[in-house]
Structure 1
């Protein structure tokens, strides 16, 4: 959405903490109101402009999404474009759309098909904005609930492929009528199989490094196979001990401490002191799919994903999403080993639209390939 790293746009993770009234408060960034809450608290939803804002002068953005509400709304929290989501759809100015104009679907195969059809008919063919985004909830939703390589997980892949095929066919129609389309087909992450679930909060309490489940001295928002650790400024005396404890655990692959956060694109705001990537290995699951990881016990009320798919950390397979680009500036049928990141997508889109990408951390992949 921004082409920037978390330390600059300020959305630190799928789960995070904010200092509110002198107290660390845990938040699920997937909640539909999270970014509006952050705006009320800090004065801004995101600290960097989104593509929706950057493109408003030339026709704007239309997004159809069936992922978490918070993730969808992060593409346009300030209401510059059109966002369609099952939890609520919005026109510019964050004017809520009702009735037939809203996106009333389930997070299931039928909902994905209906959303894809509307995206093609309304966004691509009829309205044709400079930027149109379709963010499918599958196969991610199923992979969190089913073993990787299982029949139901493979069926979700076929479903996603079928919806992508319909979009690709629609893009061919646009090109035949003369539109210069840059088609980007990608995933934002891969998956690991959860081999073990660890209650990090309980471990810190047992070690005397957090007062209790309810205490706000140390907060541990979990993001699947990773966790962020926040320490209240009044308990800075615990930081060194927490770091030493984490580095001694057999469920940790990497501890990124306060002095290293900037190197991974994070920033020590609101008491953030550590980012942890949990233990992983290259062993296969029962269906032969390689890559297993420890999962941090989810927040109360959420189920763990033992034996199923998860992501969030720095293990091999969760960092192996695919990226395919077709259009001007890219040679058909070629494969490149140039390292890429999701933050490269926004500047790549802006380069195609001949718009500046001022202030972005990513770079246009047209330029990267040329170099």
Structure 2
């Protein structure tokens, strides 16, 4: 007798489409031949993991779920201040300062009473917890594993791994055993930290990068094989394999804060009148309401900077899915060259915003966040009921389409989401 339908979602953080080749990733390349391949799949803006995680979890653009970046500004003690959405405490900070971590319900909330959601995650803790900020299911992360009600899981139940490739391997081993072979949640989600973490630390196309791709391919192969075995046992499973964004090679780092101070548009590097939230190859610029008169001059200044690839004003926020309000005045996609190549012949170069909090600059390595062709070229493959083997979805798809696709397969309503079930696009 066929068991209740369930879905498995595997995300390989930072994997761009053109790296899925027989030479670099043979298991994924073979899977592509029998799955549905989304040839125009895109990220959101900014193309950063915590924002994409929220869009995957809710099926909505950032404009509706309310998280504008990996780093954002919020008002605390009457002044704008920067917050890192990757930190474990971010959920509580955002709830305290804005009333909600996310403004839309997540898959964990929607599926809580019909099989539930189990999440194994090896990226930042903030990104992991944004999948289930209210504690409806189980989230396993090296910084702390949480059960229903956000109760800590300790001892053998906790996920005690590192954030490296070996940690990804250990996560996959537990995920396969606990979430596919033994457990049967409505949705089992594994989000691996690589190749993204490796790509941030080395040049795209370099030997260490190719080794990370090889190992990520092996991790994907283990999940694909486990799902195939479960299907042979009579289970009806939809398998999605994808990524959240791609990467560009960083050719220069721009200190936006210093430029604004020099131009007389910001009082000092640490002042709260104008606050810059760097997001890799993107940036968010906030203006305190008492300095609203600076906005026009800021707009003119930014529009004239050679490092600005696209200046997004409040009039454009809706079109780009950027959250309005919160004193956000501008969003910037840093300048990119989609035709030029790096030292290993990998196309896609970008400028990056100087990171906040003393984080290192990453010249010559991978980065993302903006609108460059390759950072906006993530992967999505779908295999199972509702999808024809070997077919191609030629129209544009997005991270916001994953939640409605999963919900439709599991028999749930998808009204009110920004994305659409991809079953309807064949």
**TM-score normalised to the size of structure 2?**
0.86
CA distance in 2, matches of 1:40, 1:202: 31
Distance 2:165 2:322 in 1: 36
Matched, 1:357 2:414: yes
What's the CA shift for 1:336?
Answer: 2.0
1:52 aligns with 2:108: yes
1:125 aligned to which of 173, 181, 196: 181
Partner residue of 2:397?
Answer: 340
Q: Which residue pairs with 1:295 in the alignment?
A: 352
Q: Deviations over 1:246-277 (max 9, x none)?
A: 11011111100121111111122210011100
Instruction: State the partner residue of 1:204.
Output: 260
Residue 319 of structure 1 corresponds to which residue in structure 2?
Answer: 376
Aligned equivalents of 1:254, 1:166: Cα separation in 2: 40
Tell me how far apart the structure 2 counterparts of residues 178 and 235 of structure 1 sit (CA, whole Å). 63
CA distance in 2 between counterparts of 1:83 and 1:124 reads: 15
Partner of 2:118: 62
SS where residue 260 of structure 1 aligns? Answer: helix
Query: Any residues of structure 2 matched to 1:116-265 within 5 Å, and which?
Result: 116-265=172-321
Measured in 1, the distance between the counterparts of 2:377 and 2:100 equals: 32
Maintained 8 Å contact 2:256/2:354: yes
Q: CA deviation at 1:42?
A: 2.1
Aligned with residue 81 of structure 1, among 133, 137, 140: 137
> CA separation in 1, counterparts of 2:348 and 2:171?
32
Secondary structure of the equivalent of 1:221? strand
Structural mapping, 1:93-112, within 5 Å: 93-112=149-168
CA contact (8 A) 2:67 2:323 kept: no
Q: Distance in 1 between matches of 2:80 and 2:325?
A: 11
Deviation string, structure 1 residues 312-342 (Cα, Å, up to 9, x no partner): 0001110011111001111111122111000
Shift of 1:109: 1.8
Secondary structure at 1:203 match in 2? helix
Task: Answer yes or no: is 1:285 the counterpart of 2:315.
Answer: no
SS class of match (1:169): helix
CA distance in 2, matches of 1:196, 1:171: 43
Alpha-carbon distance between aligned partners in 1 of 2:285 and 2:176, rounded to the nearest angstrom: 42
SS at match of 2:290: helix
Aligned partner of 1:329 in structure 2 is 386
Match in the other structure for 2:50: none
Bigger Cα displacement from structure 2, 15-24 vs 341-350:
15-24
Q: Compute the displacement of 1:214 (Å).
A: 1.4
What do residues 277-326 of structure 1 show as CA deviations (whole Å, max 9, x unaligned)?
Answer: 00111210000000000000001320011000000000111001111100
Tell me the distance in 2 between the aligned counterparts of 1:37 and 1:267.
18
Instruction: Please provide the CA RMSD for this pair.
Output: 0.8
4+ long deviations beyond 3 Å: none
